[in-house]
Structure 1
């Protein structure tokens, strides 16, 4: 059975594809999650996260942009942007423990993003959380 961390990683992949202009990815979410063996409660969790980010993407992007120093959202890599969007959604709209959300985002950044990403994501999400 898949873990929440695996479900989040799958959502990052979906958000990454969406961010690169594949807005039609939403119609393939079920198939993609099934291919990754994300099922049952974890599938419900992943769908809730993906759909929530897409539904609130403007609010999420505004929140992230508020905490960027001199850079714009477009200056952040697509993977990092996807991780930030997911974690910001969870912080703002889910009733999950905030330190766990931030830690999961940092772990995702360590696995999926550049060397400086974990520190950057940690700092920005700390600001979002306050």
Structure 2
């Protein structure tokens, strides 16, 4: 598994855990970075967690607008978290090409979520990617 793929998986783990436990994701991130017995948290994983936390309101607004027929609360937790990471990469991480961000989210969904999740994530992230250049100018 490539380094950034591992980082995305680690960010997913931290964001998912914090949501499931009702804890602050940044506190969970700090705990995981300070714990020797846990898998390491790379700088890129930390960037993803912080970015999702800092931009969550705007990310969730975009997901609500582009996840046709789905509310944020109704989405499976893994899908919701992968979408948040994917949108953050699409809009705020310039060195990641849009197709890479989408493919990585879809591949993680393929291994970690439902059979329908890859297609769902591809559709939502694809719709957001189509307007990403416009969105980047308004951020």
Same fold by TM-score greater than 0.5: yes
Question: 2:40 pairs with 37, 41, 58, which one?
Answer: 37
Q: Measure how far apart 1:2 and its partner are.
A: 6.7
Q: State the partner residue of 2:74.
A: 75
Q: Measure how far apart 1:72 and its partner are.
A: 0.9
Q: Which has the higher contact order (CA 8 A, sep 6+)?
A: 1
Q: Measure how far apart 1:106 and its partner are.
A: 0.6
Q: Scaled by the length of structure 1, what TM-score is found?
A: 0.88
Q: Which runs of 4+ in 1 moved over 4 A?
A: none
Q: Scaled by the length of structure 2, what TM-score is found?
A: 0.83
Q: Does 67-76 or 80-89 show the bigger shift?
A: 67-76
Q: What residue ranges of structure 2 are gaps of 5+ in the alignment?
A: 131-139
Q: State the partner residue of 2:99.
A: 99
Q: Distance in 1 between matches of 2:63 and 2:25?
A: 23
- Equivalent residue pairs, number: 126
Contact 2:14 2:28 in 1 (8 A): no
Contact 1:19 1:82 in 2 (8 A): no
